[in-house]
Amino acid sequence: MIEVQHLNKSFKGKPAVQDVSFCVGAGEIVGYLGPNGAGKSTTIKVLTGLLVPDSGLVSVGGLVPWRERRRHVARLGAVFGQRTTLWWDLPVRESLELLQHVYRVPRAKFTQNLKTFTDLLELGPFLNTPARSLSLGQRMRADLAAALLHDPELLFLDEPTVGLDVVAKERIREFVRHINQQRGVTVLLTTHDLGDVERLARRVMIIDSGTLLYDGDLPALQARYGSARELVVDFEAAPVNAHLPGLELLEHSGPRARYAFTGPAAKPIACVTALAPVRDVTVREPDIEATIRRIYEGGLLADNRVT
């Protein structure tokens, strides 16, 4: 779906994207991560046809975005958390009907998609409400419907859950997962909310200072750069000595103890159950947000440039 080879783009002589290469297959959901100013927005603007690169090859669905822009934009959707594609003073329904004509969506297809999205995103209560009167969560749901009315093959999501409460975030994530699985829509996701990434994407790309530093499996990234896993043990009674060889004792208070460990959990669990009778055991996985923060702050991927 997306092929990028040796992409370069500078502004006033300052590189924004440097020699970036990657491919995204049809039907993938890929998280595109990086701190502010890393080059994410520049990459997305090139992929959508808004910017022309200084050099490199870019193909999206077989088209060069900035050369065949009319055909290109007809096959993609975009949702930007800080902006809306809805007409501010029009009811949501009328904005969607205008977009039907913009994208020349057949009436039957429009009616079918509107019904499907109304059900999945619970648009019914505010379809006749002007966009300016919507809550942030309502507007994001309406923007998602607007981006997908014309059945695009590719969806760009930029901070789709920014500012939303937990329930609204989960509704958005469930919808994105649905259209990916049921309609095969390819999704490129840029976000600072790593809950979005954990819930939606198995593959991530990390860019910093315009350079692509990582492209691969999210669990593998956590395993390599994440902190240790934790074993939380509730003993039947407080052990006299909770220390165990091969496990780092993080905390011991009464019958509860916390241990740090790496690798499979089977051996550490066997160790604690052999120490004393156990009432409950919980394995806590490394936090992805902490992992990404460690990567940025420690420059852990500085020598891992993707070519």
Residue 79, classed as helix, strand or coil, is: strand
Are residue 63 and residue 212 in the same domain, yes or no?
Answer: yes
What's the structural domain count of the chain? 2
pLDDT surpassing 90 at residue 175? yes
Q: With pLDDT > 70 as the criterion, what percentage of the chain qualifies? A: 95
State whether 158 and 232 are in the same domain. Answer: no
Q: Is residue 300 part of a domain?
A: no
Would residue 293 count as lying in a domain?
Answer: no
Around Cβ 201, how many Cβ atoms within 10 Å?
Answer: 22
pLDDT attached to residue 287: 66
User: Which position has the higher pLDDT, 5 or 163?
Assistant: 5
Averaged pLDDT, 70-95: 91
Average pLDDT over residues 125-141: 94
Are 259 and 275 contained in the same domain?
Answer: yes
H/E stretch holding 47 reads helix 40-48
Same domain, 198 and 240: no
- At residue 191, the 3 state secondary structure works out as coil
Asked if residue 191 belongs to a domain, the reply is: yes
Residues 192 and 53 occupy one common structural domain: yes
CB-facing half-sphere around the CA of 129: CA atoms within 13 A: 12
Question: Which pLDDT belongs to residue 298?
Answer: 66
**101 and 12, same structural domain?**
yes
Answer yes or no: is pLDDT of 307 > 60.
no
Q: Is the alpha carbon torsion for 191, 193, 196, 199 positive or negative?
A: positive
Report if residue 297 sits inside a domain.
no
Report the alpha-carbon distance of residue 226 to residue 77 in Å, rounded: 34
What domain range includes position 48?
2-222
Neighbour-count burial of 154, counting CB atoms closer than 10 A to its CB (0-12 exposed, 13-18 middle, 19+ buried): buried
Q: Which residue type, as a one-letter code, is found at position 284?
A: R
36 pLDDT tier (thresholds 50, 70, 90): confident
> Of 36, 35, 39, which Cα lies nearest the Cα of 10?
39
Strands (E) in the chain, as ranges, are: 2-11, 14-24, 29-33, 55-60, 76-80, 154-158, 186-190, 203-208, 211-217, 229-235, 248-253, 256-261, 278-284
The CATH number for 84's domain is 3.40.50.300
- Shared domain for 154 and 248, answered yes or no, is no
- The predicted model gives 164-190 an average pLDDT of 92
Q: Is the pLDDT of residue 141 over 60?
A: yes
The mean pLDDT value of the chain amounts to 89
pLDDT attached to residue 2: 97
Beta-carbon contacts of residue 21 (< 8 Å; ≥ 6 apart): 4, 5, 6, 7, 212, 306, 307
- Measure the CA–CA gap between 20 and 211, rounded to whole angstroms: 6
CA geometry: angle 123, 195, 265, nearest 5 deg? 135
The reply to whether 28 and 177 lie within a common domain is yes
Assess contact for 290 and 249: CB atoms under 8 A: no
Q: Is residue 156 part of a domain?
A: yes
Q: Is 104 inside any structural domain?
A: yes
Last residue of a domain, one of 222, 247, 269: 222
Would you say residue 273 lies in a domain?
A: yes
Q: For residues 87 and 126, what is the distance between their CA atoms, to the nearest angstrom?
A: 14
Q: Which residues are 232's β-sheet partners?
A: 258, 282
Average pLDDT over residues 124-150: 94
User: Coil, strand, or helix at residue 41?
Assistant: helix
pLDDT beyond 70 at 300:
no
Whether residue 131 is contained in a domain is answered as yes
Specify whether 156 is located in the same domain as 277.
Answer: no
pLDDT of residue 159: 86
Do 59 and 163 fall into the same domain? yes
94-117 pLDDT, tens per residue?
999 999 999 999 999 999 999 999
**Both 241 and 206 in a single domain?**
no
| Contact (CB, 8 A) for 133 and 191 | no
- Mean pLDDT, rounded, for 145-172: 91
- pLDDT tens-place string over residues 266-285: 888 998 899 999 999 998 87
123 shares its domain with 243: no
